[in-house]
Amino acid sequence: MKASIPRGYRLCEYLLIIEPTDQAKKQIQAFKQYFIKCHRYQNAIVSKGHITLARFLQYEHREQRIVQKLQQLADCTQPFQVELQNFGSFGHTLFIDIKSADPILQVVAMHRHELRPLINGPKHVAPYFATKPHITIARNLTPSQNEAIWPIWERTRYNETFSAKNMVLLKRIAGIRSPYTIVRKFDFLGLLPAVVQGKLFA
C-alpha cells in the first residue's frame, strides 16, 4: 500500500486570480457557450471566467508565508476599474481583451522580486506572472481552427467594466486534474505601507 504524503509536503498548483462580477461572469459564460454552439469545437474552457495574475508550483508548508505576503500586497492595493474590451487571439487562444492592464500588472507583476523567493518551485520551476492580462474563452486551438474562427471574433464588439475589489488564491494537488479550491480571498484596502505612514505622520 502506497504511503500518503504528509499534508505540508504535498506539491500543489497555485493560481492567483481576479474574479469578474457576477454580471460579467454570465456574459463571459455566454460567449463560451456561443463558441461551442457556433464553431462546434469543444475548446471553450468550462472554468469560470477570471484574470490570471500568477501561477506557480509550491509545497504546502510554504503556503502560510505566501498568504502573508499576498495579504501585505492586497492591503496596499487600491480597488480599481477593469475594462473588458473586444477580443484578442494568441493564435492558440481566443480571449477577451483588457483595455488598461496597468492596474492589474501592478498588483503582483510589479512585486515579483518580493514574491519570487516564496513561490519559486522545486527544481527551479519558474512561476508564471501575467504580462498580458486577459480572460480566456477558448484555448488549444489548432492553426486551422484559429484561421476559421478569428475573422468572426475580430469583428465582434464587447465592452464591460467592473470594479476589482479583491484577488483570490486557489490551489489543487499537482498532477491531479481536480477543481481548484479557495485558499484565501484578499480584499484590496488601499492602505499606505507602514514605512510611508511613518514618514507622513512623524
Residue pair 108/129 in contact by the 8 Å Cβ criterion: yes
Q: Is 61 part of a structural domain of the chain?
A: yes
- The string of pLDDT tens digits covering residues 109-150 is 878 888 988 998 887 778 999 999 999 999 889 999 999 999
Q: Is 124 part of a structural domain of the chain?
A: yes
- The string of pLDDT tens digits covering residues 42-72 is 766 667 889 999 999 999 999 999 999 999 9
Q: Is 6 part of a structural domain of the chain?
A: no
Q: Strands 181-187, 51-59: parallel, antiparallel or unpaired by DSSP?
A: unpaired
Q: Is 5 part of a structural domain of the chain?
A: no
Q: Residues 6 or more apart from 17 whose CB is under 8 A from it?
A: 50, 51, 52, 53, 167, 168, 170
Residue pair 162/23 in contact by the 8 Å Cβ criterion: yes
What's the structural domain count of the chain? 1
Answer positive or negative: Cα dihedral of 120, 121, 122, 126.
Answer: negative
Query: pTM for this structure?
Result: 0.87
Q: Is 181 part of a structural domain of the chain?
A: yes
Nearest by Cα to 48 from 27, 75, 71: 27
Bridge partner list, 80 = 164
Return the SS3 of 95: strand
Bridge partner list, 134 = 97
Q: Is 127 part of a structural domain of the chain?
A: yes
Q: pLDDT value at position 142?
A: 92
Q: Is 1 part of a structural domain of the chain?
A: no
Q: How far is residue 200's CA from residue 139's CA, in Å, rounded to a whole number?
A: 48
Q: What is the CATH number of the domain that holds 21?
A: 3.90.1140.10
